[in-house]
Amino acid sequence: MGIKNESILIMDFGGQYSQLIARRVRECNVYCELKSYKMTADEIKKAGYKGIIFTGGPNSTYDENAPKCDPKVFELGIPVLGICYGAQLMAQTLGGKVKSSDVKEYGKTEIEVNPSSLLFHAAKPNNVCWMSHTDFIAEVPHGFKITAISADCPVVAMEDIKRNLYAMQFHPEVQHTNEGMLYLKNFLYNACCCTAEWQMSSFVTDTIRDLKDKIGDKKVLCALSGGVDSSVAALLVHKAVGKQLTCIFVDHGLLRKDEGDQVESVFKQQFDMNLIRVNAKDRFLSKLVGVSDPERKRKIIGEEFIRVFEEESQKLGKIEYLCQGTIYPDVVESGVGESAVIKSHHNVGGLPEDVGFEGIIEPLRDLFKDEVRRAGLELGIPEFLVWRQPFPGPGLAIRIMGDITEEKLALLKDADAIMREEFAANGLDRQVNQYFAVLTGIKSVGVMGDGRTYDNTIALRAVTTSDFMTADWARVPYDVLEKISNRMINEVPNVNRVVYDITSKPPATIEWE
């Protein structure tokens, strides 16, 4: 028995919150999959879903090219919950009326719900939700009851308990909807009769068992970067087949202070893994001599990484499988859902497809990032690795403006370590999503003691973001900034000025290069 006996289908109509809906369902300990709205009723029936959620979407149901579901979906007897556009589509398809309003209802809205309905069972009668719509349901289809209203919207929610169909105009998945999780749980547990079986502990046990079956006595290779995804993927395989897995950790010398040693010690000492660390710093630095252009730096590092990896793997003889840390958002973003996002960066660990393996092993293909972290904790990976902030493949090379030298690298490593220490000491390391120091390449005049200096400027970058596509600069307390600045000037030679970057993304990017 696997742990995916119960699965919910999220039908994506192109809404900006589609992935968030899926994450929320998983938070309710129910497995779900995000698929295109084009999936037919037959396909859905075959897949055996226990419930269906229609997402929002940017269209009006009256648009010529509005995405429509297979109308037979409503006849399957599987509970359906329509959200926003999905609610309107349900109303229109089943004979109700959807109208366009002159005023857009947007943002926090007060609603009145009926707590004796299924969806709002045990909910507060008056509450706040998050709306974002112009069209609204003006008339419910035959058999439906109105279960929530607002001052401007006659049908905020509706349900037909006999056919197990539910709809809400607002977004239960966003934080601003106070009791959104309760409404979702009511749908999942009471309408779909799901039992909250999706737990990371069972995911780990089941995955290890499945990997054992799949791999048998064959060999597996993994490129370990020390990032959370590749670490968790590798450890799952290691728990399944032990020394049949070999990990190659290419240390390009552009990692943060002590990071290479920490990664090696966790996987070699704590987990007794077959880990080959390739110390290739000189090789990378010699290729980078005199190179200032950011894209050239990225390209050189990416190509060199593949070369080193190939050379090392060839020494190991025949290996059947390659293990990769692909996670669910990568799968969705490569075109499974409707809200395809164009990825702006190729990870430097990305290997060419044709590297002569029989197959690829991707144990995290179904997991969101927060689930990967929970699986990592289940497996006993230390917290500093599980909560590691994202780190770009080209490493510190794109945080040193201009060309890269040993001296500049050493200076930036020391400065960055101080920033990380102070963020951790002040509890900012979990609140701020990414933070680091940049060697700006600017020299400026200062005065230290009685002497004039002409030295380096360090910039501090710290951002809050949920998806790294947009970001805001973090409001770091002044006293923390002050401490970091003082320490950098006093402890890092050749630094005489520290500045704080207060640009959001867009217009800036998170990294400086």
Q: Which two tokens stand for residue 307?
A: 């070369």
Q: Is residue 109 within the footprint of ligand XMP (CB under 6 A)? A: no
Question: Tokens 């070369």 belong to which residue?
Answer: 307
C-beta of 274 vs 326, nearer to ligand XMP: 326
Q: Which stretch binds ligand XMP (CB under 6 A): 22-30, 195-203, 388-396, 483-491?
A: 388-396
Catalytic residue check, 32: no
By CB under 6 A, what part of segment 427-456 binds ligand XMP?
434
- Ordered DSSP codes for 440-468: EEEEEEEEETTEEEEEEEEEEEEEE-SSS
Binding positions for ligand XMP, 196-215, rule CB under 6 A: none
Per rule CB under 6 A, is residue 4 in the interface with ligand XMP?
no
Q: Phi/psi zone of residue 174: left (φ > 0), alpha (ψ -120 to 50 degrees), beta?
A: beta
Catalytic residue list contains 84: yes
Buried b (16+ CB within 10 A) or exposed e, 55-69: bbbebebeeeebbeb
Q: Which is nearer to ligand XMP, 470 or 490 (CB)?
A: 470
CB of 363 to ligand XMP, least distance (A): 20
DSSP 118-129: STTTT--SEEEE
CA distances in angstroms from 171 to 53, 128, 133, 175, 456, listed in the order given: 12, 11, 10, 9, 49
Q: How far is the CB of 391 from ligand XMP (least distance, A)?
A: 7
Q: Which two tokens stand for residue 2?
A: 């696997």
Which span (133-141, 230-238, 392-400, 486-494) binds ligand XMP, by CB under 6 A?
Answer: 392-400
The answer to whether 510 contacts ligand XMP (rule: CB under 6 A) is yes
Alpha helices in 9-67 (DSSP H): 18-27, 41-47
| Whole-number CA gyration radius for the chain | 26
Instruction: Verify whether residue 142 is a known catalytic residue.
Output: no
According to the binding rule CB under 6 A, does residue 186 interact with ligand XMP?
no
How far is it, in rounded angstroms, from Cα 513 to Cα 500? 16
Window of 10-18, 191-199, 204-212, 340-348 that interacts with ligand XMP by CB under 6 A = 340-348
Residue of 33, 105, 159, 173 marked active site: 173
- Write down the catalytic residue from 6, 33, 69, 84: 84
| 347 binds ligand XMP, rule: CB under 6 A | yes
Q: What minimum distance in Å lies between the beta carbon of 496 and ligand XMP?
A: 27
Query: Binding to ligand XMP by residue 392, rule CB under 6 A?
Result: yes
- Among 169, 204, 393, 489, which residue sits at the site for ligand XMP (rule: CB under 6 A)? 393
Give the footprint of ligand XMP on residues 297-336 (CB under 6 A).
298
**Region from 107-115, 259-267, 353-361, 502-510 binding ligand XMP, contact rule CB under 6 A:** 502-510
Residue 356 or 390 having the CB closest to ligand XMP: 390
**Terminal Cα-to-Cα distance of the chain (whole angstroms):** 49
Rounded alpha-carbon distances, angstroms, from residue 291 to 392, 400, 503: 18, 11, 26
* Amino acid identity, position 407: E
Angstrom distance (rounded) from CA 407 to CA 221? 34
Quick one: which of 48, 58, 390, 493 contacts ligand XMP (CB under 6 A)? Answer: 390
User: How many whole angstroms separate alpha carbon 207 and alpha carbon 224?
Assistant: 19
In angstroms, give the least distance from the CB of 58 to ligand XMP.
24
Residue 163, helix vs strand vs coil:
coil
* Total chain residues near ligand XMP (CB under 6 A): 15
Q: How far is the CB of 463 from ligand XMP (least distance, A)?
A: 8
SS3 label, residue 130: strand
Active site residues: 84, 171, 173
Positions touching ligand XMP (CB under 6 A) are: 298, 344-345, 347-348, 390, 392-394, 434, 468, 505, 509-511
